[in-house]
């Protein structure tokens, strides 16, 4: 139930995030990633999952588009349009300390909602 409510919350964020924006997210899919998602990944994930930092815990790197598409030891980290099937989303929701990401400091609800929204939008990522 918590997961369902979280997805509902994430979907309700879309109009709020782009209120007053002259360009709706449908016309600039990469903009949402660059302004909302990339900062979360940089702050919360790159310490352990970054090719540039030579860190690929679990075989996963998130600092390239091909990194999350290829995924790590458990396959692709994100299934575009499918938050429930995306290991990245499942791991940030996990209550198991061994499976939860990030392991030390769980993400705040807003960051979780933003990541879910990104996946629901098809996981646009303009990085090469």
Burial of residue 54 (number of CB atoms within 10 Å: 0-12, 13-18, 19+): exposed
Digit-by-digit pLDDT tens for the chain (128 residues) are 555 555 555 555 555 555 555 555 444 778 999 999 999 999 999 999 999 989 999 999 999 999 999 999 989 999 999 999 999 999 999 999 889 999 988 999 999 999 999 999 999 999 88
- With tokens 């990104």, the residue in question is 118
The residues with which 72 forms a beta bridge, in sequence order, are 75
The whole-number pLDDT of residue 9 equals 55
- Model-wide pTM > 0.85: no
Q: Are 78 and 86 in contact (CB under 8 A)?
A: yes
Predicted local confidence at residue 18, as pLDDT: 52
Residue 17: per-residue pLDDT: 55
Q: Domain-by-domain residue ranges, the chain?
A: 2-11+31-120
């Amino acid at each position: 139930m918590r997961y369902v409510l979280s997805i509902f919350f994430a979907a309700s964020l879309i109009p709020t995030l782009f209120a007053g924006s002259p360009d709706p997210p449908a016309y600039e899919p990469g903009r949402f990633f660059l302004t909302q998602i990339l900062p979360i990944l940089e702050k919360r994930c790159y310490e352990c999952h970054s090719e540039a930092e030579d860190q690929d815990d679990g075989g996963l790197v998130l600092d390239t588009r091909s990194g999350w598409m290829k995924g790590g030891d458990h396959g692709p980290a994100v299934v575009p349009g499918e938050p429930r099937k995306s290991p990245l989303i499942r791991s940030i929701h996990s209550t198991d300390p061994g499976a939860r990401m990030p392991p030390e400091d769980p993400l705040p609800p807003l960051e979780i909602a933003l990541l879910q929204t990104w996946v629901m939008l098809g996981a646009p990522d303009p990085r090469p």
